[in-house]
């Protein structure tokens, strides 16, 4: 991760945004303390994960488990 001071970040923000869009993580610091991480949304690992299992998981089994657990705790019957 690259760390850049706020004064440098202010003068070269377009370049930093381009680098972040390519996947580089950039920390912007103030008085020597990292305050903000500059990370592009499109390169986020989480973005690729959401929806990856759509249609591949049988959700009906979760309802069965809920009933079984409720019986064990005496909530049914």
Please state the pTM of the whole predicted model.
0.51
In a domain, 27, yes or no: yes
Residue 59 included in any domain: yes
Say what the pLDDT of residue 65 is: 67
**pLDDT at residue 16 in the model:** 94
Helix (H) or strand (E) holding 19: helix 13-21
What span, in angstroms and rounded, lies between the C-alpha atoms of 74 and 77? 7
Q: Which residues of the chain have pLDDT under 70?
A: 42-50, 61-65, 77
Q: How confident is the model at residue 46, as a pLDDT?
A: 59
Compute the distance between CA of residue 72 and CA of residue 48 in angstroms, rounded to an integer: 38
Tally of domains in the chain: 1
Q: What is the CATH number of the domain that holds 36?
A: 3.40.1620.10
SS3 27: strand
pLDDT of residue 64: 65
User: What is residue 43's predicted lDDT score, i.e. its pLDDT?
Assistant: 47
Q: Is residue 77 in a domain? A: no
pLDDT of amino acid 63 = 65
> Residue 20 belongs to what domain range?
2-72
């Amino acid at each position: 991760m690259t760390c850049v001071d706020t004064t440098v970040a202010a003068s070269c923000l377009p370049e930093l945004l381009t680098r972040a869009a390519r996947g580089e993580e950039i920390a912007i610091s103030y008085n020597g303390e990292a305050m903000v991480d500059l990370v592009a949304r499109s390169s986020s690992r989480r973005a690729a994960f959401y929806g990856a299992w759509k249609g591949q998981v049988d959700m009906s089994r979760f309802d069965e488990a809920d009933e079984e657990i409720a019986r064990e705790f005496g909530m049914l019957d």
